[in-house]
């Protein structure tokens, strides 16, 4: 009897150890966007984001459009067209709140500032918009990698074969900005990512055609110096161009609804991002 109990105990411990190891391996092997989505399980990460203030935006130029995706489901985007015909497109990727009015307003502001370029804010949540951090975390975790890539590919198709694609995103959208530039292949012409999770797969990075500007925060506990340094090494190994600017600020410092919003750093980062895109657009 004692021998049987001892055997069962050892068997149970072995199974638990194997399960824990398998879980750890699955987390380590997860791609960059999935790794970032896992942060929704971190209470500190949740608490670092204040719920966005209510905001109603009346569009001047932009409008919601439908994109035809290959999986048979329509996708959503907010499109701000240039005044003149151009094949230059800037894809904007929302934070974990979804495609809300803040992002739509930002799309119009960026289009006005850059001039002769079309700006498309892409909805990766399929119409869902969060007004609190718990919902935002839920929606972020629910994003299906394949569906998100299908949405982005639908946006790429929308630009046509002559389209030149530039990408910009914040937080959750920062990582997807990089992924979109990778998916754009030779059409990719420039990428700006604000404190998003970098891609670690060198095979994927080798498909990147666009130069990248990475904007990070030295006080960021998640996309920290170690993550940024590894990204710099991976980009160099892949033979890709990366410029990095780290501000003495915290994660999501460019978001006005964040209690750790840094107005000065945000303004400097915006100038840096716009100058980068303007040079690429020339």
What would the pLDDT profile of 12-63 be if each residue is shown by its tens digit? 433 333 333 333 333 334 689 999 999 999 999 998 888 888 888 899 999 9
Residue 30 confidence (pLDDT): 62
- Among residues of the chain, what percentage have pLDDT more than 90? 83
Tokens for 257? 């609804």
Contact 270, 254 (CB under 8 A): yes
Residue 208 confidence (pLDDT): 98
Residue 54 confidence (pLDDT): 81
Residue 259 confidence (pLDDT): 79
**87-136: pLDDT as tens digits:** 999 999 999 999 999 999 999 999 999 999 999 999 999 999 999 999 99
Of 50 and 83, more confident = 83
Residue 195 confidence (pLDDT): 97
Residue 15 confidence (pLDDT): 35
Residue 118 confidence (pLDDT): 98
Angle between helices 172-184 and 145-159 (to 10 degrees): 60
pLDDT at 65 over 50: yes
Q: Among residues 255, 266, 225, which one has the least CA distance to residue 136?
A: 255
Contact 187, 217 (CB under 8 A): no
**214-252: pLDDT as tens digits:** 999 999 999 999 999 999 999 999 999 999 999 999 999
Q: State pTM to two decimals.
A: 0.89
Average of per-residue pLDDT values in the chain = 90
Residues 267, 272: Cα–Cα separation, whole Å: 9
Q: Among residues 217, 85, 254, 105, which one has the least CA distance to residue 159?
A: 85
Residues 40, 60: Cα–Cα separation, whole Å: 34
The phi, psi pair for 171, rounded to 5°, reads 55, -120
């Amino acid at each position: 009897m004692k021998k049987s109990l001892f055997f069962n105990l050892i068997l149970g411990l072995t199974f638990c150890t194997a399960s824990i190891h398998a879980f750890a391996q699955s987390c380590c092997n997860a791609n960059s966007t999935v790794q970032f989505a896992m942060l929704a399980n971190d209470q500190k990460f949740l608490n670092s984001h204040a719920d966005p203030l209510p905001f109603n935006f009346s569009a001047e130029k932009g409008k919601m459009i439908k994109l035809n995706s290959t999986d048979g489901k329509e996708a959503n985007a907010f499109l701000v067209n240039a005044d003149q015909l151009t094949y230059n497109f800037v894809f904007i990727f929302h934070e974990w709140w979804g495609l809300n009015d803040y992002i739509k307003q930002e799309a119009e502001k960026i289009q006005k500032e850059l001039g002769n370029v079309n700006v498309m804010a892409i909805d990766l949540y399929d119409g869902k918009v969060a007004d609190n951090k718990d919902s935002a975390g839920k929606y972020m975790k629910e994003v299906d990698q394949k569906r998100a890539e299908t949405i982005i590919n639908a946006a790429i198709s929308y630009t046509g074969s002559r389209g030149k694609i530039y990408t910009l995103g914040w937080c959750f959208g920062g990582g997807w900005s990089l992924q979109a530039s990778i998916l754009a292949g030779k059409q990719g012409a420039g990428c700006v990512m604000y404190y998003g999770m970098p891609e670690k797969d060198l095979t994927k990075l080798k498909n990147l055609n666009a130069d990248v500007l990475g904007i990070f925060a030295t006080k960021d506990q998640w996309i920290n110096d170690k993550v940024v340094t590894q990204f710099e090494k991976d980009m160099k190994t892949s033979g890709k161009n990366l410029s990095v600017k780290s501000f003495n600020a915290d994660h999501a410092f460019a978001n006005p609804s964040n209690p750790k919003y840094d107005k000065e750093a945000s303004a400097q980062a915006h100038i840096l991002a716009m100058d980068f895109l303007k040079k690429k657009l020339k």
